[in-house]
Each structure stands twice: as structure tokens, then as C-alpha cells.
Structure 1
Amino acid sequence: MTLFDFSQSIKALNNQKKFSETLKFFKENKTEFKPDDIGLNKFIVYEMISALIETNHYEVIFTFIEQHNIVLDEKNFGYLLKKFKDKPSVNWTVVNKFCDLVSVDNLDTECKTIEVERKGEKKPMELASDKENWYAFKTKALFETQQYQECYEFSKKALENFEKFHYSNEIWFARRIALSKKHLGNSADALNELLQVLRRKKEWFIQNEVAEIYKENGDFDKAFKYAIEAINNFGDLEYKVGLLVLIANILGHKEETELSFKHYMLSKLLRQQEEWKVPPTLDYALQNLGFTQIPLEQLPNLKKELKNYWNTFKQPQTKSFDKTKTTTGQNLDGEIVEIRNDNERGKDGFLKSNGQKYYFSVSSNFHLTPNIFVGKKVLFEILPPTETKKEQVRIKKVIT
């Protein structure tokens, strides 16, 4: 068997998604070739690292690279890096280590353009360069692994290195700078910078972060304002259980004890409904307030009551719609049939239901995004158009 035959066999197994068989085949036949010859073959290197990522053999990647004296091909690096992000659960420690295998200064700065179809129209879309993607992954990995000083430094360097950004990366870099400063003890600068980010990107989790700093500073009125804006903002309530605890804590400081209890209770019931662990601190807070706890079957009533309470803080100009008078707002079953883009910003593509295709777009911060792939069955609804947005698809649950 020649080295070419060896590489083609590995590629064929990967193309069939038989990644475990790829690893077995490599182990059984690698001794026929010199380690350095394997390491110099960029096709074998790419396919083997791909198989190791797919099978979650992360540490073996670095052993494989060391044993075969591999210098990663910079042109393949970006494709391999993206494979980590496609995993249902991203191992940011590994991503951070993987980023260090190349010199960022040697990565391509070219921004390729692809053609995407949206609502039946084909439009050009410019992609981030490998260099910009490296900074996006590296800073995210540093933040997730709590290396805040390095996260701050690399995020700052990223903002200085590029004149044009993609997928709102300039906003995410600025956010990481602000949050790193907070963790490094500079909450004043962190707050000011998060407020600037919020002017450009009104996401609930950024409002939540602003509220947390105001609470830590003892400004409970402003903390409450931003926390309520966050709870009223777009996003599944089930994934705002931490925000509910924050609101409960703020209400406690404002001496609104019963409302505080109900927010703690809602956080606990949502966790129980989703079969998530209830933190001991949450149980302690509820016991400390002394009210009789609400049973799980009363969750719909509690949710409705508190939603009505939150709605009293909405701005008068906010318009709502009556779902009973429209065909939208109903839960529908569908299947993901195409992924157009999958990047730092999130994913978009098409799903199909009852013979009709619908365009969807999900943020990288949306909890279901890692589980959205071609072939996945989903539960979704169609949100009606508003004054500023067209009709939108909202994915609510991944079924299989």
C-alpha cells in the first residue's frame, strides 16, 4: 500500500462518517510508513484530526501532532477549527490549545464571498477571514476558560487589527473586553463599555450583565430596570433561570419579599420542568423567605402572573399581537433541510414543514444552536411581522 492509497482509504471512511473505523484503520496500518512521511502529508493530517474531533478524542490530537512532527497547514486550519464549533458541546480548553498550534500572523486575511439564498433571492455574503475567525475562537476560548487577562489582551488586539468585521465580531470583542475587565476588578470601566455594546446590540444577556454590575454596585433601581428589560426581551424563559434569580435578589433588596419569592420559585420550577439541577443556594433562598412553596403543576399560573407583572414595565409604544387572530404563533413540526451559514454569529438555513420551506436564523448564543443540523426534527412557530421586522421563524425545540 502506498501513502497515497493510505490517505485515500482514510478519506473514504471519513466521507462515510465511519470515524471510529478511520482511527482503527490508521492504527493497524501506520507502521508501514515513517512518522515524518505521515506528518508531511497534509491530506492524512486533515482527515485524521477530523476523525479525532468527531470521535471526541481531543487529547489524542496533540499526541498525534507531536508523534508525527506535524506543522499544521494554515489553509486547512480554519476548516478544522470550525469542526470544534459544530460539536453539540464545545470543549473550549481544547479550542484554546488548538489555536496555539498556528501563528495567527501567518493566517489568511482574505475574505471570501459566497452566494446565499434568502427568501428566494440569491445574494452575495462575505465571510470572515481565517485570521478574524482565529481571534473570534481564541478570545471566546480564553473567556470560557476564565483566562481574563489574556482574553482582554487578544480582544483588544483584534479590534486594532481589522478595519472591517463580520458576524458582529467587533461587538463580541468589545463585550469580552468589558466582561474581562469586570472579572479583573474594574467594574466601572466594564459597565461603561457594556452600555456602549448594548446601544449596538440589545440582547437580553447583555442587559443581564449590565444589571449584575449595577446590583454589585448597590444601585438596585438601575439593576432592576435592566433586569426587567432583559426578561421582557426576546429569548426563551427556560434559559433565563439565572436572570430570574437576579431579579428575585434585587426585589429582596427592595423589600418586595413576596415578589422576590415568586421569582425564585419560577426559577426553581422551570429547572424542575426541564429536569435540570436546582442549586442549593436557590433552595436556601426559598426556605429563608418562609413562604409555602408552589407545586410544579402551578407553573403555568405562576408564569402567567409574573409575565403580567413584567409587562407593566414595558414601554407604552411596544405593540403586541393577538395570536388567536392569526395563523402564526402555532407550534409546527419541521425538519432542517439546509444549513447556509454556520459561524461565530450563529446559523441560518431552511427547514421544511408540510411541503413548504421556511428560512430560519439562530444566534450563536441561542441554547439550541449547537444541536441544529441537517436532518434534525424541530418544533417551531412563525412570529408575525412587526413594524420593524418581517415574519420570522422561531425554533422552540429540537425533537430528534
Structure 2
Amino acid sequence: MPTLFEFSQTIRNLNKEKKFSETLKFFKDNKTEFRPEEIGLNKFVVYEMISALIETNHYDVIFTFIEQHNVVLDEKNFGYLLKKFKDKPSVNWTVVNKFCDLISVENLDTDCKTIEVERKGEKKPMELASDKENWFAFKTKALFETQQYQECFELSKKALETFEKFHYSNEVWFARRIALSKKHLGNSEEALNELLQVLRRKKEWFIQNEVAEIYKENGEFDKAFKYAIEAINNFGDLEYKVGLLVLIANILEQKQEKELSFKHYMLSKLLRQQEEWKVPQTLDYALQNLGFAQIPLEQLPNLKRELKNYWNTFKQEKIKPFDKTRTTTNQNFEGEIVRLLHDNERGKVGFIKSNGKEHYFSVNPNYHSISEISVGTKVIFEILPPKDDKKDQTRIKKIIA
């Protein structure tokens, strides 16, 4: 008969070898040797068992295990378990929502740990979000994904009021969830205004897509088309923009551009077929109603090329990216902030990427647009000549809205 320590060590070792199904079998075969409360009070067994159940997608059993053994989750392990859900290929947000309710958020740690990460051979400190901030991020996301919009709105608002400092642009994501919850609750006008504010801080294609959808619903098709085209031209794999392609097709249909509308519907369908994703019936109906002969899958590269050329005609003239071969200083260049190393009362420090090169920058805390500087922000910057034998200096001149 194994001792409780030996029992927990065996479970831990099986998990370490990723033999999660064997973990569950070993537990089932040996659990009767111990009282349920003995198991429930052993935080090591609890952590390893819940980990194995997450890894094997036995989500319902997690809550049965907790109930049968009167488990009180350890606050220090809770954050690690929560992140395991997000590491799954497909997140079950209903389970995440229920799991978040197993612990009082007020008991979670507010300390932000710092780790060292290696960048180009040099170790740099990086501050992580606290367990409490992570709980708000997961819980509000779960509420939104499970269509509990009123609760999502209220909790996202509370999150913004709770923390003075955020990580991973969480303040932007909370603001976005507030806006989208308002949309689903019937307040499209406020949702649109707030999404436009979010977009100034985080120019992501899916936010542009959301703005375009509201304009379309309001019958403002020119504005909807503008933001939809900006979204399709923005960073992001085309395969994940199949819904955006349908939106563009809808708008073009409203604008009586039937052939272009058909081609966008068709591209959405072919991309789904290529990825072996389900094609919605509504997409097939839209293609049939337009009456053009459907394009075979082998013509996908040609269709993609044709429409990319069409989208490119709407791109605005941009300042050329920085080219190291150009030696003249005090010129304006366009780039994107790709990393933030520090974000505190002393300002922000990080790297701007332009034309494949990364440029170190620092911003004084008094900089007028410091709140808008985050990963993904596009900026206009200049390279100042070196002073006192130091390296070139990068100075951010403008945030691109």
C-alpha cells in the first residue's frame, strides 16, 4: 500500500512524462487507500489531478473530483491551472467560466513577478501580470464567449477600476469587451464610439472588422467598406479572415458591385475548403443568388492574387520604412512597436520594427501620447544622430491612428 507521499509522487512523475491517461488510471486504482478529505487537502495531488483532467479533456470530471474530495483550491496553483485551459487548441470557455467561480478573486495574489527573457543573446527582465489580473482577463473573456454580455460589461468595467497598471494590453481588451457587450445589449452608438477609441490604441484587423460591422448594420456602407478594407489589408493570416471576406462581399452587394461581391464570397468558401472547414449554408445561398459560375479550388491562388491587387488599390500612400542603407538622419520612418521591455512610472522602453530591422526606443513618462504606446501600435519615428559617442537614438514623433 503506497503512502500518500508515494501516491502523489507517482501521479506527479506520470504527468511529467505526459502519461496523463495513466495518471487517471493510477488514481482510480489506488484512491480508495485514502480518505477523500486526505486527497482533497493534498494540494500536490489536487494540482496534478486537475492538470491531467484538463490535458485529457475530462472537464466535467474536474468538478466531480473537487466536489467528492471537498477540494479548496490553492490560490498559488490556481493561476497555473487556469492557463492550462488557454493552452488547449480549442478553449472551452464554458468550463473556464465555471472554473473561475471556484475561487474568490479577492484572495488571489496581486504581486507581479518578473522573469528574464533572452532577446538576441541578451537577457532582459519582463514583468508578468498578477494572478488577480489574469483572473479578470480569463473571466471576462469567458463571459463574453458564453454570451453573458451584461455580466461581461460589469466585470470588465470593474477590472479597469481595480488596477492602476495593466499587462499584455489588458486595459485595451477590457475596453473592447465593454464596447462589444454594449453592442450586443443594443447600444450600438456607444459601442461604435468606444471601439473607435480602442482602435486608436490597438490597430488590429479584428477591431477594424467589428467597427465595419456596426457601420454596416447602421446602413453606412461607405464607412463600413473603408474599415473592412483596412482590416483585410492589415496584418493577419487571410485564412482567419473568412468572415471578414463575407462582410466585404455583403457591402459590395449593397453597393451593386455584384461580380466583386461574388469573388469575395467565393474566396471565403475556397479558403474554408482548403482548410477543410465547414462551409455555412448562408455562404452557398449567397453565391447561388448572385448567379455566377463557381470557381474551382485549383483556381484559389489566382483569385487570391486578383483580390489582393484590388485591396492594394485602397492603400494610402505611406512613409517608406526605415532603410539602413540611407544614411541621412532626421528623416521620418514608419514602424510598429513589437516589444515593450519596461512600462512603469519612468516611462516606456521597447523596440520598433521597420523594414525587418528593430530599433530601440525610450519614451519619457510625460510624453503626450504615452498611453497609446503598446505592442502593435504603428508610429512615425526618426533616427537622431549619436551624441557623445553613443548609439543612434530613436525618437517617436507621432502615433498613427
Q: TM-score range by the shorter chain?
A: 0.7 to 0.9
* Post-superposition CA distance 1:115-160 (Å, at most 9, x none): 1011221110000000000000001111111111111111111000
1:35 aligns with 2:36: yes
Q: What SS is found at the alignment partner of 1:146?
A: coil
Quote the offset at 1:177 in angstroms: 0.6
Deviations along 1:151-173, one digit per CA (max 9) or x if unpaired, are 11111110000000000000011
Q: What does the per-residue CA deviation read over 1:42-73, in whole Å, with 9 as the maximum and x for residues that have no partner?
A: 11111111111111111101000000111101
- In structure 1, give the amino acid aligned to 2:282: T
The residue aligned with 2:164 is: 163
Partner of 2:18: 17
1:319 deviates by 4.8
CA, structure 1 residues 118+207, in 2 after alignment: closer, same or farther (shift >3 Å)? Answer: same
Q: Does 1:132 align with 2:133?
A: yes
Q: Deviations for 1:318-372, whole angstroms, at most 9, x for unmatched residues? A: 6589xxxxxxxxxxxxxxxxxxxxxxxxxxxxxxxxxxxxxxxxxxxxxxxxxxx
1:59 and 2:60 are equivalent in the alignment: yes
Shifted more, 16-25 versus 213-222: the winner is 16-25
Unaligned runs of 5+ in 1: 322-382, 391-400
Deviation, structure 1 residue 384: 4.9
Q: Which runs of 4+ in 1 moved over 6 A?
A: 386-390
Alpha-carbon distance change, 262 to 319 in structure 1, aligned in 2, over 3 angstroms: farther
Q: Deviations over 1:64-94 (max 9, x none)?
A: 0000111101011001111111111111111
- Measured in 2, the distance between the counterparts of 1:215 and 1:386 equals 38
Equivalent positions of 1:31-180 (< 5 A) are 31-180=32-181
Deviation of 1:281 after TM superposition, in Å, equals 0.8
Q: CA deviation at 1:307?
A: 0.8
Partners of 1:258 and 1:281 lie apart in 2 by 18
Kindly tell me: are residues 121 and 140 of structure 1, through their superposed partners in 2, closer, same or farther at Cα, counting changes over 3 Å?
Answer: same
Aligned-partner Cα distance in 2 for 1:178–1:23: 43
The CA distance in 2 between the partners of 1:145 and 1:244, in whole Å, is 25
Distance across 2 between alignment mates of 1:75 and 1:170? 24
| Aligned-partner Cα distance in 1 for 2:124–2:316 | 36
1:221 is the counterpart of 2:222: yes
| Corresponding residue for residue 356 of structure 2 | 385
1:215-294 matches, within 5 Å, as 215-294=216-295
389 and 275 in structure 1: CA distance in 2 versus 1, 3 angstrom threshold: farther
TM-score with structure 2 setting the length: 0.80
| Unmatched segments (≥5 aa) in structure 2 | 323-353, 362-401
1:235-274 Cα deviation digits (max 9, x unpaired): 1111111101100110111111111111111111111222
Aligned length: 330
Shift of 1:293: 1.5
Counterpart amino acid of residue 356 in structure 2: P
Distance 1:296 1:32 in 2: 60
1:345 match: none
Give 1:302-321 correspondences, 5 Å limit: 302-317=303-318, 319=320
How many Å separate the matches in 2 of 1:388 and 1:264?
40
Paired with 1:264 and 1:320, the residues of 2 have a C-alpha distance of 33
Alpha-carbon distance in structure 2 between the residues aligned to 1:13 and 1:131: 30
1:389 CA displacement: 10
CA distance in 2, matches of 1:220, 1:245: 14
CA–CA distance in structure 2, aligned partners of residues 16 and 297 of structure 1: 44
Flag the 1:221–1:388 CA change in 2: closer, same or farther, 3 A: farther
Moved more, 289-298 or 96-105: 289-298
Deviates more, 1:226-235 or 1:261-270: 261-270
Cα separation, 2, equivalents of 1:259 and 1:388: 41
TM-score, with length taken from structure 1? 0.80
Higher-Rg structure is: 2
Q: Output the aligned Cα RMSD.
A: 1.9
Tell me the percent identity: 87
